[in-house]
Amino acid sequence: MKNILVMCTGNSCRSQMAHGYLEKLQDGLANIYSAGIEIHGLNERAVAIMAEDGIDISGHTSNHVTEYLDIDFDFIITVCNHANENCPYIPSKNAKRLHHNFLDPSKAEGSAEEKHKIFLKVRDEIKEFCQKFILRELH
């Protein structure tokens, strides 16, 4: 079974959404982990927007990447430029590293409706990325 690590800055939003989709869509082909180079706690709006698509991430925790240094990852996916640029060395033998920068919806400003639209846009982009990743890399 493959091991996949998804990383962003604080493991609160984007990496959590990707973790949720990868876990749900890959049908037992991999173990999914998510982490941050910092820990910001689980973002409530991320939990809510994922629930709208039938994915429950409310039980996820915000984890620091150093918690997983003993796992040999097959894929390390960074979902923001900051994590990609500041990712510490992860001693996985043959990890394929992938990067896609997604807008940080937690930084959205405006009304509740405007923030919701941004979370929805980012969630849908992450879902599409995860679907393509699974088809390309796990099947």
- Please tell me which residue in 8, 32, 57, 76 is annotated as part of the active site: 8
Annotated active-site residue 130? The verdict is: no
- Please tell me which residue in 42, 71, 87, 98 is annotated as part of the active site: 87
Annotated active-site residue 80? The verdict is: yes
- Please tell me which residue in 32, 55, 57, 80 is annotated as part of the active site: 80
> 22-30 contacts: CB < 8 A, separation 24 or more?
22/130, 22/133, 22/134, 24/55, 25/130, 25/131, 25/134, 26/134, 26/138, 28/1, 29/1, 29/2, 29/134, 29/138, 29/139, 30/1, 30/2, 30/3, 30/4, 30/74, 30/138
Annotated active-site residue 87? The verdict is: yes
**Could you give the residue numbers annotated as active site?**
8, 80, 87
